[in-house]
Amino acid sequence: MGVTIKDIAALCGVSPGTVDRALNHRPGISEKTKARILQVAEQMNYQPDHMARSLAKGRTMTIGVVLFDLYNRSFSQLMNSIEAASRQQGYFVDLVLTNKDPENEKKCIEHLLLRKVDGIIIFAINQGEAFNDYLKSLSIPVVTICNYVSDDWSYIGIDDREAMKEAVRYICGKQYERFIYVCPPLAYRGKTNIYTQEERLAGCLEGLKESGIEAQPTVITDKDYIGSISRMDFGSGTKTAIICSCDIYALEVMNHLKGRGLRIPDDVGLMGFDNIDVLKYVSPALTTVEYAVEEFGSRAVQCVIEQIEQGTRTLVPRLPYQVITGDST
């Protein structure tokens, strides 16, 4: 159906090899014939066949992207920027979604391997040495994003620990006496990759300590964290702050607190993390931490392409963040 390199060769009275040299601007061809070939190619509206080229070169111009899902706002934004950056660089994107299931993640990666992707950008749910070795065995560039796996791979993200610490220090200036930290993923400690969540927790603990808060916070890791909170009393004088590791949890908690008729921040303080865009429709404005997740995407693409094409790896610095002081604390 399409016009091939042979057609052009025939029409120009040259060999396919020569056409290839012209088309790919390789040396060993006179300007004259090259110009002629390019012109004919143009006229015939020649489109190189990606499949054939991939087969011959062993490269597919495809980046595999492994994410949990697209439900979390941040992931969507991430994917948006990955798609744009990739296509702009002439790469295709193969998206696979793991649904936070470690087994499924492996299937997803296998799927990408079948496709012979040139590199992978992954928000990993697996972790540990075995997984790291598995990634190594793929022998293609891998860029980790949002969840660290090991120093063997570039990592794109913010310094979650510092960010949370800074946010918590801010909260601590508000006379809270009791602190509750909400982070259900911590229940999967040792089972799945919760690097980022661990960092945030650590940052919280450090932040409290540095602020001179002696009492340890209550850490809620229940999947049914709302249930746990519903059994807690917030009326009794001691002013409580609930710090959530993600905005989503904070929003759920907010709904719950409102349902109980508790006022935020007067009765209970509330903080999230991520500054997802729907926050603007919610009141009171949530105190949270913001960072440019779109930039994660473009950086990741740039980083993986560099490894694919140059074979070099430039260290990507931790990206900037900012504490957003809302009205909820």
Partner DNA sequence: CTGAAAGCGCTAACAC
Partner DNA sequence: GTGTTAGCGCTTTCAG
Binding site for DNA (CB under 7 A): 1-2, 4-6, 13-18, 20-21, 23-24, 28-34, 46, 48-49, 52-53, 55-58
Nearer to DNA, 57 or 231 (CB): 57
- The residue among 214 and 281 lying less far from its own copies, judged by its C-beta, is 281
Which CB atom, from 2 or from 227, has the smaller least distance to DNA? 2
Could you tell me the smallest distance in angstroms from the CB atom of residue 50 to its own copies?
5
CA distance 329 to 286: 8
CB of 69 to its own copies, least distance (A): 6
Counting DSSP H helices and E strands in the chain, the numbers are 12, 11
Structure tokens given for 192:
């799945």
Phi-psi region of 28 (alpha: psi -120 to 50; beta: other; left: phi over 0): left
Cα distances (angstroms) measured from residue 171 to each of 31, 163, 187, 272 = 69, 13, 25, 11
Question: Which of 44, 202 has the CB closer to DNA?
Answer: 44
220 binds its own copies (CB under 8 A): no
User: Which window, 15-23, 47-55, 159-167, 224-232, contacts its own copies (CB under 8 A)?
Assistant: 47-55
Picked from its own copies, DNA, none, the partner binding residue 23 (CB below 5 to 8 A depending on kind) is: DNA
Kind of pairing, strands 288-291 and 321-324?
antiparallel
Q: b/e for 206-226, b at 16 or more Cβ within 10 A? A: bbbeeeebeeebeebbeeebb
CB closer to its own copies out of 254 and 300: 254
Regarding 115 and contact with its own copies (CB under 8 A), the answer is: yes
- Cα dihedral across residues 29, 33, 35, 38: positive or negative: negative
Contact characters 241-260, its own copies, x per CB under 8 A? ----------xx-xx--x--
**17 vs 128, which CB is nearer to DNA?**
17
Shortest Å distance, C-beta 48 to its own copies? 8
Q: Which of 12, 23, 38, 80 binds its own copies (CB under 8 A)?
A: 80
Q: Is the dihedral of CA 192, 197, 201, 203 positive or negative?
A: positive
State yes or no: residue 199 binds its own copies (CB under 8 A). no
* Calpha distance 253→240 (Å, rounded): 13
Residue 184's nearest CA partner among 244, 253, 110 is 244
Q: How far is the CB of 237 from its own copies (least distance, A)?
A: 28
Contacts of 143 by beta carbon, 8 Å cutoff, 6+ apart:
119, 120, 121, 122, 153, 154, 155, 156, 300, 303, 304, 307
Q: Provide the 8-state DSSP code for 99.
A: T
Contact positions vs its own copies (CB under 8 A): 1, 47-52, 54-55, 60, 69-71, 75-77, 79-80, 83-84, 87, 92-97, 108, 111, 113-116, 139, 251-252, 254-255, 258, 277-278, 280-283
